[in-house]
């Protein structure tokens, strides 16, 4: 019976942790939306939005994909792939967004 009780306790802690991570992701998303409507220089806004997106991606990978509990080998396989994707995104989307800045009417 004690094993069954410890399973329920573990599940409750896990649900609390997942809820906390979800709330953090929600707050980060609200900050991103708020920042999008503020008058901030584009290069600063894009840098902050990219940083918040990286934090959100790391939280999702760690807690919702359960990579926090995986072996080091899997972690070392996925992190370089994530860095590559982020770099490719910066190469493709940053120049395009800065290009659109010049077409914006002030």
* Total-model pTM: 0.61
6: containing domain: 2-101
* Three-state DSSP class for residue 7: helix
Question: Which ranges constitute the DSSP H helices of the chain?
Answer: 2-37, 42-59, 72-101
Residue 80 vs residues 49, 53, 55, 75, 97: alpha-carbon distances, Å: 21, 16, 15, 9, 25
CA dihedral angle for residue 55, residue 33, residue 19, residue 76, rounded to 10 degrees: -20
pLDDT of residue 10: 42
On whether residue 28 sits in a domain, the answer given is yes
The string of pLDDT tens digits covering residues 24-51 is 999 999 999 998 888 888 888 888 888 8
The string of pLDDT tens digits covering residues 58-105 is 888 888 877 777 777 777 777 788 788 888 877 887 777 777 777 766
Q: What angle do CA 80, 31, 61 make, to 5 degrees?
A: 30
pLDDT of residue 8: 45
Crossing angle for the helix pair 42-59 and 72-101, to the nearest 10 degrees = 160
On whether residue 106 sits in a domain, the answer given is no
Residue 53: pLDDT band with limits 50, 70, 90: confident
Nearest to 28 by CA among 50, 8, 43: 50
What domain count does the chain have? 1
On whether residue 33 sits in a domain, the answer given is yes
């Amino acid at each position: 019976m004690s094993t069954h009780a410890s399973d329920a306790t573990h599940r409750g802690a896990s649900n609390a942790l997942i809820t906390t991570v979800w709330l953090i992701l929600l707050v980060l998303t609200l900050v991103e939306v708020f920042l999008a409507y503020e008058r901030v220089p584009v290069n600063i806004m894009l840098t902050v939005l990219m940083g918040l997106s990286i934090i959100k991606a790391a939280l999702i990978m760690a807690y919702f994909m359960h990579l926090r509990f995986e072996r080091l080998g899997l972690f070392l396989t996925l992190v370089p792939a994530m860095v590559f994707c982020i770099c490719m995104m910066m190469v493709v989307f940053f120049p395009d967004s800065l290009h659109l800045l010049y077409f914006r009417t002030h």
